[in-house]
C-alpha cells in the first residue's frame, strides 16, 4: 500500500511539475494561432482513470497518455505522426526520470517549460522555444525507445538461436545424417538408367525420407526422455539433461514427430514404407520405455539386436522395396548391391551398437544398464569392434574385386582399402581412459558408416 501511494504521489508530482505548466502555456489565449494540432494530457481523477483535455498549438505537439488501469502500466507518447511505446516500467515516474537524466540539455529545456506560467513568456518566440524543447525531449525519448527495441530484438534473436541449437542436439544429428545418406543410397539401387529419375521417383523418395527422419527424431527423443538422469552423467550437453528443454517440451516434440511420420507414411500409400515405420516405432519404443518386458537397452543382446535390425535390415530392404515396388512399379527382386549392403551393414550396425556404450559405461553401471561394455570392459569391446570392421572391409574388398566392370572394381577395392587403412591408423591412437578421444572415435565410426553408403551403389 505504501509503495502504491508513493507511486501515485510521484505521478501527481510529475504532472504538476512538467505537464500542467505546459498546459497553461498552450491554453493561453495570447499565443498567436497557427495550424491546428491536437494535444492530449491526462488529468488524474480520484478513481485513477485518465481524463483527456485538448488544446491548440502553433507547431507539432506531443501526445502523452498514461494508463493506470493496467498491470504492468503503459505510457504512450506521440510526436507528430510518430507513436512511441514502452512497458510499464516507463510509467510516469520513470518517464520523468528518463527525460531528466538523458542529457543536461533536455533537463534544462524541460525545466524552462515548467516556468512557462509567467506572463512575460507569452510571446511567439518563447512559445516556439518551448515547443522545440518539447520536441527535443520527445526525440530523446524516441532514441531511448529505439535502443530498447534493438536490445530487445537482440535478446529474442539469441533466445531463438539457443532453442534451435538445443533442438539440433535433441535430434542427435549424427543419426539424422546416417538416415539421410542411408536412404538416399538405398533408393538409388533400383535405378537402371537416367530415365528412371522422374518427378514421381523424386516424390516417392522425399516421402520416404521425410517419414524416416520424423521417426528417427521420435526414437532418439523418446530415449532422451527416459534417460534424463543417465544423460546427466554420460551426456550432460543434451537439452533435456542440461535443462534447456523441459520434459513437457520433449514429450510434445516426440509425439508431434511420431504423428507426422505416420501421417506421411499413410498418405504415401506405400506398404513397405508403412511396415518400416511401424517396426521402427515398436523397436524404438521397446528399446527405451521403462515398463515390464520393455526397456531392452538394459540387456546387451536385445539392445544390439534393435539397432542392427533397424539400421542393417529394415533400412536396406524396406526402402529398396518402397522404391522398386511402390514408386517404380516393378517386381521386387534382390540385387547384388542390396545383398552386399544388408550384410555389410549388419557388421557396421553391430559395431555402432557395441561402441556407443563405451563412452556411457559410468552412467550405465550406476543405473544398472548391463551393456557389453559394463560386463566385459571398454577395452575388450573396443578391440572386438575394430576386428569386426577390419574383417568387413576385407570381405568388401574381395567382393569389389569380383566385379566385371573395371571402374566399379577400382572404386570398390580402392575405396574399402582406404577406409580400412584409415581405421587402422586411427585405432593406434585410441585411449579408453580418455573420454574425449572415445567420443571422437565413436563419431569417426559414424563417418565411416556414411562413407560406406557412397560405395554401396558401385557394388554391382
CB 221 within 8 A of CB 250: yes
Question: Looking at residue 44, what is its pLDDT?
Answer: 41
Determine the straight-line distance between the first and last CA of the chain, rounded to whole angstroms. Answer: 85
Which position has the grid cell 550405465? Answer: 364
pLDDT band at 73 (very low <50, low <70, confident <90, very high): very low
Q: Say how many C-beta atoms besides its own lie within 10 A of residue 222's C-beta.
A: 23
Grid coordinates belonging to 250? 520433449
Q: How confident is the model at residue 124 (pLDDT cuts 50, 70, 90)?
A: low
- For the stretch 292-331, pLDDT in tens is 889 998 888 888 899 999 999 999 999 999 999 999 999 9
C-alpha gyration radius of the chain: 36
Which ranges of 115-198 does DSSP label H, i.e. alpha helix? 124-170, 173-188
Measure the CA–CA gap between 114 and 1, rounded to whole angstroms.
30
Higher confidence at residue 42 or residue 295? 295
Size of the chain in residues: 460
The pTM of the full predicted model, rounded to 2 decimals, is: 0.67
pLDDT digits (tens, 9 = 90+) for 46-55: 444 444 433 3
**Domain limits, the chain:** 2-161, 171-331, 334-460
Q: What is the pLDDT of residues 343-390, one digit of tens each?
A: 999 999 999 989 988 888 878 887 877 788 888 888 999 999 999 999
Cis ω for the linkage preceding 72 (within 30 of 0): yes
Question: What is the CB neighbour count within 10 angstroms for residue 66?
Answer: 20
- Write down the pLDDT at residue 106: 45
Q: Look at 131 and 46; give whichever has higher pLDDT.
A: 131
What number does CATH give the domain 171-331? 1.10.357.140
Amino acid at each position: 500500500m505504501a509503495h502504491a501511494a508513493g507511486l501515485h504521489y510521484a505521478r501527481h508530482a510529475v504532472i504538476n511539475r512538467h505537464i500542467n505548466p505546459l498546459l497553461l502555456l498552450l491554453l493561453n489565449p495570447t499565443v498567436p494561432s497557427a495550424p491546428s494540432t491536437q494535444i492530449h494530457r491526462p488529468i488524474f481523477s480520484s478513481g485513477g482513470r485518465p481524463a483527456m483535455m485538448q488544446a491548440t498549438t502553433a507547431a507539432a505537439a506531443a501526445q502523452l497518455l498514461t494508463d493506470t488501469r493496467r498491470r504492468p502500466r503503459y505510457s504512450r507518447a506521440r510526436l507528430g505522426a510518430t507513436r512511441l511505446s514502452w512497458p510499464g516500467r516507463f510509467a510516469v515516474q520513470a518517464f520523468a526520470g528518463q527525460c531528466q537524466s538523458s542529457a543536461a540539455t533536455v533537463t534544462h529545456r524541460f525545466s524552462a517549460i515548467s516556468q512557462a506560467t509567467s506572463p512575460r513568456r507569452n510571446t511567439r518566440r518563447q512559445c516556439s522555444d518551448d515547443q522545440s524543447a518539447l520536441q527535443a525531449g520527445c526525440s530523446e525519448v524516441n532514441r531511448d525507445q529505439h535502443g530498447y527495441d534493438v536490445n530487445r530484438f537482440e535478446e529474442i534473436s539469441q533466445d531463438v538461436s539457443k532453442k534451435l541449437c538445443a533442438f539440433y542436439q535433441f535430434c542427435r544429428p549424427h543419426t539424422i545424417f546416417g538416415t539421410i545418406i542411408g536412404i538416399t543410397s538405398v533408393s538409388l539401387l533400383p535405378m537402371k538408367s537416367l530415365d528412371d529419375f522422374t518427378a514421381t521417383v523424386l516424390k516417392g523418395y522425399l516421402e520416404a525420407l521425410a517419414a524416416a527422419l520424423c521417426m528417427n527424431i521420435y526414437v532418439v527423443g523418446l530415449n532422451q526422455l527416459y534417460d534424463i538422469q543417465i544423460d546427466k552423467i554420460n551426456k550432460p550437453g543434451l537439452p533435456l539433461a542440461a535443462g534447456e528443454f523441459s520434459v513437457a517440451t520433449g514429450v510434445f516434440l516426440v509425439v508431434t514427430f511420431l504423428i507426422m511420420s505416420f501421417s506421411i507414411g499413410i498418405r504415401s500409400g506405400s506398404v513397405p514404407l508403412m511396415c518400416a515405420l511401424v517396426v521402427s516405432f515398436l523397436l524404438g519404443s521397446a528399446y527405451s520405455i521403462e515398463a515390464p518386458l520393455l526397456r531392452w537397452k538394459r540387456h546387451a543382446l536385445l539392445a544390439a539386436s534393435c539397432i542392427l535390425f533397424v539400421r542393417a535390415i529394415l533400412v536396406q530392404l524396406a526402402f529398396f522395396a518402397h522404391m522398386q515396388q511402390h514408386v517404380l512399379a516393378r517386381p521386387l527382386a534382390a540385387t547384388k548391391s542390396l545383398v552386399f549392403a544388408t550384410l555389410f551393414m549388419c557388421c557396421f550396425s553391430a559395431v555402432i551398437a557395441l561402441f556407443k556404450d563405451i563412452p556411457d559405461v559410468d552412467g550405465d553401471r550406476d543405473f544398472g544398464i548391463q551393456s557389453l561394455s559394463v560386463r566385459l570392459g571398454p577395452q575388450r569391446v573396443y578391440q572386438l569392434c575394430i576386428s569386426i570392421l577390419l574383417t568387413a572391409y576385407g570381405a568388401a574388398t574381395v567382393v569389389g574385386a569380383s566385379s566385371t566392370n573395371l571402374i566399379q572394381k577400382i572404386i570398390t577395392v580402392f575405396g574399402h582399402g582406404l577406409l580400412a587403412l584409415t581405421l587402422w591408423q586411427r585405432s593406434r591412437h585410441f585411449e579408453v581412459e580418455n573420454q574425449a578421444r572415445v567420443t571422437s572415435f565413436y563419431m569417426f565410426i559414424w563417418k565411416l558408416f556414411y562413407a560406406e553408403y557412397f560405395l554401396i551403389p558401385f557394388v554391382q
